[in-house]
Homo-oligomer: A and B are copies of this chain.
Amino acid sequence: MLKVPEHQVAGRQAIDGKLGPLIDNSGHFYKPLQDDDERGTGELTFYHSFSSNTRIPHHIRRFFPVFYGTQLLKASDGSGLRPHLVLQDITSDHLNPSILDIKIGSRTWYIEASNDYIQNCFHRDKTTTTVSLGFRICGLQIYNESAFWKPERKLVQSFTADDVRSVLRMFVSSNVGPEPDFCFADSVYGGCDGILERLMELKTWFEDQTMYHFCSCSVLLLFDKESFLKGKTPFAEVKLIDFAHVVDGNGVIDHNFLGGLCSFIKFVSQVLADSKGSTMED
């Protein structure tokens, strides 16, 4: 009944006897807690705090996967029963979703972490677009012409600013190759219910909230081209995922997440503007 998520684009995967998340057919995503590791505990702590936090506005709560508690399940690595977070499977309503997983922030470490952890993150941040752009694409799949483009982790990690722009163009195009047609840009990025508007809502909240610092957290963009063509909604979604490294905000805004989010918003805005330019030239 439980299976490996088909549309997971980043993070540890439950394949080759390794520990990773599982899904069922009822829209649940089971993420293993790593009991001897601060990661799992950190994410559970966050979900407990967040679900009971009455200061989270309703329109912000929508950005987070629904949390259903924890459950003991047979772990994917064959190590026996292990507690799992039970979360909403964001992709379950979509057959062939295009997905971008964007880790936000120009710094993925936090002061409270161990020195080894900081040094590892610091190196990765400098050698990806994290420091230069304030975010990095961690994984992606783009559905086009009946197939997924799902580049390997190494290729994704080597992305430059120009590669990021190309990916954001391909995400809203109906063709593959060097000349994207920007076919869906207006509907997906633009408009009063588009991705840019959602990102601006998040930005407004991050300018104010001082409760949590979302270190190493991702914005996940989903676009379901088939739903869009059939007039089915929602065809595009914006979610926040991965809260293993959320720390107390201590009365300070999450300037690291906010800065990176603003940079990402600028990239999306520019692709939307380019798409208008390209349509006008046609």
Contact = CB atoms under 8 A, between A and B. Distances in A.
Interface of A: 106-107, 111, 122, 126, 131-134, 161, 207-208, 210, 250-253, 255-256, 258-260, 262-263, 266
Contact of A106 (B251, B255, B266): B255
Contact of A252 (B250, B251, B252, B263): B263
Contacts of A262: 207, 253, 255, 258-259
Nearest to A266: B253
Contacts of A256: 106, 134, 259
Given A111-B126, A266-B207, A255 B134 contact: yes
Contacts of A255: 106, 133-134, 259-260, 262-263
A130 to B, nearest CB: 11
Contacts of A259: 106, 134, 255-256, 258-260, 262
Contacts of A132: 111, 250, 252
Secondary structure class of chain A's binding surface, majority of residues: helix
A178 B134 CA distance: 39
B263 A133 contact: no
Contact of A266 (B133, B252, B263, B266): B252
B111 A131 contact: yes
B207 A161 contact: no
Contacts of A208: 266
Nearest to A264: B255
Nearest to A206: B262
Given A106-B107, A208-B266, 9 more contacts: A106-B106, A106-B255, A133-B252, A134-B252, A134-B253, A134-B259, A207-B262, A253-B263, A258-B262
19 contacts: A106-B255, A106-B259, A107-B107, A107-B131, A111-B126, A122-B122, A133-B255, A134-B255, A161-B251, A207-B262, A207-B266, A210-B266, A252-B266, A253-B263, A255-B259, A258-B258, A258-B259, A258-B262, A259-B262
A31 B4 CA distance: 63
Contacts of A252: 132-134, 161, 263, 266
Nearest to A135: B255
Contacts of A263: 252-253, 255
A106 B258 CA distance: 12
A66 to B, nearest CB: 29
Contacts of A134: 252-253, 255-256, 259
Nearest to A208: B266
Contacts of A133: 252, 255
A263 B254 CA distance: 8
A266 B250 CA distance: 13
